[in-house]
Structure 1
Amino acid sequence: MSVESVNCPVCQSQSQYDFSSRDLMFNHYERYDYFKCINCLSVFQNPMPSDEKINSFYPTNYSVFDAKSQARKISPLKEAIYYIKHGYKHLKPNFFFKQVATIVAPFYKADKPDFIKNGTLLDVGCGNGRYLNTMRLLGWDVQGVELNENGVKVCHAANLPVHHGDLLSASFPDKSFDVITLRHVIEHVRDIHPLMAELARILKPRGKLIIETPNNQALGHSFCGANWYANDVPRHLILFSQTSLSLLGAEHGLRMLSCRFETSPKIILNSLDYITKNEDKPSKKIIWKRFLARFYIWKAQRRNQGDTIHSVFVK
């Protein structure tokens, strides 16, 4: 493929055509082109859509904004793991679960930041507030930002302090937060550098920025191509690699402290449904396909090509 004069939104290098696809989740037929940067390997929609067009990508039944999956009480075992592994000493789990947690904690992938007493945490793109509510239960002073009105209403009904709008319109003071999380949000953002500059401004010195996003170098992306579920065309505007995330952070004074790759059966099973145009029994309910997904997970993890990047940056 020839290199074209389309600049990468992350590093401004040249790019080349990568793939074209449509909205497979909602079965729409308009097609969207994606280009790949020859330098940082970012994959991005070209041309980038307008604000009005982006809004049209999210129907009213987009499930992340409903109230059905609100946070539940944290299990005693998870409390014990957080106590042992992440410094949540105020949780005081009982003796039995502490003993079990001592055994399983080394194999448990960290999905919560280390606890900071009186720590402030911001979740950008907080959806229905499930994660915010969990972190509040764990003792954090939480705030959220959410564009979707329905999501904000659900958060406010749960008494969560959530700003309706984008991050810049929230106008937080400098150095406000110990931890900021973007969990499957950054891939939905068109103007990525203003966002990162604002995150760096409101993060405290030595504060942590946690970003989870699809990994465009995933084994599933290689195997499924345009039918990879995590492409989520057209809602995902930029698909990142570890390289592009690291470059993006460094541009704004944020150093990548750690990066790991995670995989779950959901993405490969839904991708198989897209490939086979399965409209009957979903793959997740077919036993042999679930076994196949387990093999895929093993293979992807062994090759360090999981579907999701979990990265931590420090200011």
Structure 2
Amino acid sequence: MNLNKDSEYYKDLNPLLNCIDHVVSNESYEVMYNSKYEMLVTSPVPTNLKDYYESDSYISHTDSNKSLFDKIYQIVKKYTLNKKLKLINSFNTNEKDILDIGAGTGEFLKVCKNNKWSVVGVEPSKSAREIAFKKDIHLKETINDLENKKFDIITLWHVLEHVPNLNEYIYKLKNFLKENGVLIIAVPNYKSYDAKYYKNFWAAYDVPRHLWHFSKTSIQLLFNQVNLKVEKTLPMYFDSFYVSLLSEKYKTGKSNPFKAFFIGLQSNLKAIKTKEYSSHIYILKNK
């Protein structure tokens, strides 16, 4: 596995969509199809990528509760935090060590810590780390700042799509995981109905912050390279509603909450048959 270059993911690409950055720059980016990995790739990648996260609209780096989007996000977040806790508690672990990568403002780790988990977190955003610090959650800036330690559980909640050095990151995740550990990865699914409906306005493309756009097949292929196997795939039901709400705004300039709810509901109903939800949680373990 080539740890330093992701060049193989940029080979033999076919243009699929032209998407606009609706959050920061209004710049346009190509979303390209890689048939080998059944994965979509954002092109080009800005050299100053971190600047594209500097926005009050980037809610995972704040605890904002002002707009309609913010309020819905915070309500759903409280519910999903408990679901995430229930998920990690379902695994038999000896020491209850958890590493959360892309920890945002530390809400998930705070819930874990309050439930007797030993927590470690990583978050590149300085402002998000400062908010987490006020909650007594002390986050590292990068995974390179972690000590040589292994964890029972490693979680990435909508993080892998942001990682510039994908091969290197996957290899490091493998090395941080205990032999009987569990890797939990949540990512958007470009094969969902809401993605197909909104096309280039689909909010989960989120270019250029989302560098990669995964399918079930691509996750299996990527992690197979480090002998990690997808044991289970779980749906994230709320994502279709929230993503549709943002997508409606991008497409029409208005929130259209009733239309967004209808599309989100349709997406979940169709996924009962297709198994292609707006986002998936992947449970991975060593082979």
Common fold: TM-score over 0.5: yes
Matched, 1:293 2:267: no
Matched, 1:197 2:171: yes
2:205 maps to 231
Rounded to whole Å, the distance in 2 between the matches of 1:59 and 1:276 is 24
Q: How does 1:152-301 map to 2 (within 5 A)?
A: 152-164=129-141, 166-167=142-143, 169-174=144-149, 176-264=150-238, 265-278=241-254, 282-284=255-257, 286=258, 289-301=260-272
Which letter does structure 2 place at the counterpart of 1:17?
P
Write the deviation string for residues 124-143 of structure 1: whole angstroms up to 9, x where unpaired: 01000011111112221011
Superposed CA RMSD in Å reads 2.7
Which letter does structure 2 place at the counterpart of 1:217?
K
Cα 1:135–1:153 change in 2 (3 A) is: same
1:54 maps to 49
Matched, 1:309 2:284: no
How many residues align structurally?
A: 267
Which letter does structure 1 place at the counterpart of 2:276?
Q
1:125 maps to 102
Gaps of 5+ in 1: 1-6, 87-109
Cα 1:253–1:244 change in 2 (3 A) is: same
Secondary structure, in 3 states, of the residue corresponding to 1:57?
A: helix
* Contact 1:10-1:42 within 8 A present in 2 as well: no
Rounded to whole Å, the distance in 2 between the matches of 1:262 and 1:10 is 30
TM-score calculated relative to the size of structure 2:
0.83
1:99 maps to none
Rounded to whole Å, the distance in 1 between the matches of 2:279 and 2:214 is 10
2:71 maps to none
Cα 1:32–1:291 change in 2 (3 A) is: closer
Which letter does structure 2 place at the counterpart of 1:297?
N
1:63 maps to 59
Rounded to whole Å, the distance in 1 between the matches of 2:130 and 2:249 is 33
Gaps of 5+ in 2: 66-73
The percentage of counterpart residues that share the same residue type is 22
Higher relative contact order (CA 8 A, sep 6+): 2
Larger Rg: 1
TM-score calculated relative to the size of structure 1:
0.76
Which letter does structure 2 place at the counterpart of 1:172?
E
1:32 maps to 29
